[in-house]
Amino acid sequence: MSRRLYCYHLTESRFLLQRYVIDTLQSIRRKKGVKAMYMRVSLLVSVVLLLTVIAGCCNTIRFSDLSPGTRYEVGDVITTSGVDIVVEPFMWGNDNWTSDGRAEVDSRQYSGASGNDMNARNVNLNFTFDYPRSKISLKFADLGGNENIQVNDEFLNLNEIISLDGLILGGVTLSVSAVQEGTNWIGKLVLDGTIHSFSIGGQELWIDDVCYCDGLRGCF
Ligand SMILES: [Ca+2]
Ligand SMILES: [Ca+2]
């Protein structure tokens, strides 16, 4: 079963469980003895299942299905883990746009995750998920230059991803935890809110473990 179909069935299960819990709550008062005890146990199990389902569904892009060294130019589409990522122009620190950058699959694990990273070199990576999403997170290594981020059509050109910590962009709360190694920053970016679009890029930016959720569950 595909992950998308799995999530669909979870949503259907959520509605069925909600109805069962409500119906049981309404009828349990009229029951006595063993039957009432059975219904209480059944109700407890249903509530636990419901809470699990409400937690939602998360998927993670790890770039493990791509070959190190593969390059993508502006206009190319990176298809990985069933998601299309469009490679788009990038705005430099002087506010000029360039279409001469590239993205490249890199196995040096600068982001601190495993296997391949995706390296953005003067490009933006536009993640065309099935929106909306309730949460997105990713691991990153910001090893130099400026970065771009866009959330829900609100765009920001910045020097360090760590400066996003605590900001609200496009109505979505951003948080960043990172460690500094010289002039480099290595850490995790989390977007929390109703997300309808998302892209990120940099001059020397490596990303991995791009987690996206459609419920209340957090990413790692
Ligand atoms: Ca990886
Ligand atoms: Ca930077």
CB under 5 Å of ion ligand 1: residues: 62-63, 113, 115-116, 208
Please tell me the CATH code under which domain 59-213 is placed: 2.60.120
Quote the ligand 2 centre to 201 CA distance (angstroms): 10
Q: What is the pLDDT of residues 42-82, one digit of tens each?
A: 777 777 666 665 566 889 999 999 999 999 999 999 999 99
Q: Model-level pTM?
A: 0.79
Measure 82 CA to ligand 1 centroid, in angstroms. Answer: 15
**Which of the ligands is closest to the CA of residue 112?**
1
- Per-residue pLDDT band at 14 (split at 50, 70, 90): low
How is the chain split into domains, by residue range? Answer: 3-54, 59-213
The per-residue pLDDT of the chain, averaged, comes to 89
Q: Examine the pLDDT at 23 and tell me if it is beyond 60.
A: yes
Cα 97 to Cα 55, 73, 85, 148, distances in angstroms: 40, 15, 19, 11
Distance 119 CA to ligand 2 centre (A): 13
Pairing of the two strands 102-106 and 117-121: antiparallel
Contact 149, 169 (CB under 8 A): yes
pLDDT at 51: 66
Task: Select the more confidently predicted residue: 100 or 54.
Answer: 100
What do you get for the CA distance between the two ends of the chain, in Å?
23
pLDDT value of residue 89: 98
Angle at 114 between CA 111 and CA 120, to 5 degrees: 40
6 pLDDT more than 80: no
With residue 84 as reference, give the H or E element that holds it: strand 83-88
**Amino acid at residue number 165:** D
Q: Which pLDDT value is given to residue 142? A: 98
Q: Looking at residues 24-47, what average pLDDT do you find?
A: 75
Q: Which ligand is nearest to the CA of 164?
A: 2
Contact 184, 142 (CB under 8 A): yes
Distance 143 CA to ligand 2 centre (A): 6
Ligand nearest the Cα atom of residue 202: 2
- Nearest listed ligand to the Cα of residue 158: 2
Residue 167 has pLDDT above 90, yes or no: yes
Question: Ligand 1 center to residue 64 CA distance, Å?
Answer: 6
Distance 83 CA to ligand 1 centre (A): 15
pLDDT band for position 206 (cuts 50, 70, 90): very high
CA 116 – ligand 1 centroid, Å: 4
